Amino acid sequence: MQRDLRLTAVGRRYGIRGPWVLRGVDLTLTPATLTRVEGANGTGKSTLLRLLARLDAPTEGRVTGRPRTAYVPERFPSALPFTALGYLTHLGTLHGLSRRSAQRAAGTWLERFGAGAYAGTPMAQLSKGSSQKVAVAQALLGEPELLVLDEAWTGLDAAARAELERAVAERTAAGGAVVFVDHDPRRLVGAPDATYTVLGGGLKCCTDQGSSPDGPLTLVLVRGPAGGQLPPDAARTVATVRETTPGDYRLAVPASHSDVVLRALLTAHPPWHVVSVTPPPPDSGSRP
């Protein structure tokens, strides 16, 4: 079973004689990577994401690989005759969970996004932001191999936005591929393994930004083996490492990924000791 998703010379247009929205797109999404797609309005970002989620077949070219996929649309309708928990339980079973574990996962994710109180609320009575939380939860509760986020942050409150960033970090750390579109240039800044720009119907690969993060950084002081290497899972996401004294390290980590790095350090063999964690100053954490 091939878990890479690969687009080869893919083109897509709507209607038989419609203009090409995308053409000649080559793109590979590998497990455990975070991919950002940028572009102005109407350039075909959503079309690209729909192709990646395999919702639409390409008009030309080939899409291969079929990872277990979850998709978060930009606007999620609440015109569904279920309660939030009922809907999420259904979606959990669609993602392959048993009914019981789907229900449990649904409750957990609603709680994480601060919507636990709405579990029993009919979807039709949810606010726009709360239904977006349900949309995000339905994608995450199945622990998909490919997570496609089409401006999933839009409409979420600040706490839920940060939680979604952490959830994305967890997903990639657990070996899932995540691809996202967002209009906020500071979204998950420093974290993507690759950034692509949709331009004139084609796809342009930008340099990966991993080397120059300018997003909010969490400072982590840890103690480990002198001259030792960081565990690979942690080393991948850490922005800068400095060994202050032998065995003492000062790590700067993108704020969204601090939990993932701490988990990697604490579960390493032998485990590292976490001395202190300093969150980024509050002004850099508040985003539009």
Partner 1 sequence: MTALLRYQADLLLRSQRWLPPVILYVAFLGIGVQSGQPVLDSLGYTAVGVLPVAAWLVRICVTGEPDAARACVAAARGPARAHLACLLTALLAAVALGVLATLVVTLISDPASNGHQVHVPRLRAGAAGLPATLTCALLGAAVGALTNRPLLHATGRAVPAMLLGALLAAVLTGSPAQAAVNGLVTGSQTGRAPLPLLPLAGAVLLTAAAFAVAARLTDRRTL
Please identify which residue in 3, 68, 104, 250 interacts with partner 1, judged by CB under 8 A.
68
Using the minimum distance from each CB to partner 1, give the nearer residue, 23 or 95.
95
SS3 234: helix
Residue 148 Cβ vs partner 1, minimum distance, rounded to whole Å: 7
Residue 67 Cβ vs partner 1, minimum distance, rounded to whole Å: 11
Verify binding: residue 91, partner 1, rule CB under 8 A.
Answer: yes
Q: Which residues of 234-261 are buried (b: 16+ CB within 10 A; e: fewer)?
A: bebbbbebeeeeeeebebbbbbbbbbbb
Verify binding: residue 73, partner 1, rule CB under 8 A.
Answer: yes
Name the DSSP letter for residue 124: G
Please identify which residue in 23, 45, 95, 112 interacts with partner 1, judged by CB under 8 A.
95
> For partner 1, what does the binding mask look like between residues 109 and 148, x meaning CB under 8 A?
--------------------------x--xx--x-x---x
Separation between Cα atoms, residue 214 and residue 231, nearest integer Å: 24
Omega within 30 of 0 (cis) for the link into 81: no
List 273's β-bridge partners, or say none.
223
Residue 93 Cβ vs partner 1, minimum distance, rounded to whole Å: 4
Helices in the chain by DSSP H: which ranges?
45-52, 84-94, 99-112, 128-140, 158-173, 232-237, 258-266, 282-285
Verify binding: residue 209, partner 1, rule CB under 8 A.
Answer: no
Residue 183 Cβ vs partner 1, minimum distance, rounded to whole Å: 18
86-94, 201-209, 225-233, 260-268 -> range binding partner 1 (CB under 8 A) = 86-94
Separation between Cα atoms, residue 122 and residue 95, nearest integer Å: 22
Residues 211-240 that bind partner 1 (CB under 8 A): none
33-41, 87-95, 151-159, 190-198 -> range binding partner 1 (CB under 8 A) = 87-95
SS3 203: strand
Residues 19-48 that bind partner 1 (CB under 8 A): none
DSSP string, 1-41: ----EEEEEEEEESSSSPPEEEEEEEEEE-TT-EEEEE--T
| # residues contacting partner 1 (CB under 8 A) | 34
In whole angstroms, how far apart are CA 163 and each of 173, 255, 282? 15, 11, 16
Q: Which residues of the shown chain bind partner 1 in the complex (CB under 8 A)? A: 14, 50, 53-57, 66, 68-77, 79-82, 86, 90-91, 93-95, 135, 138-139, 142, 144, 148
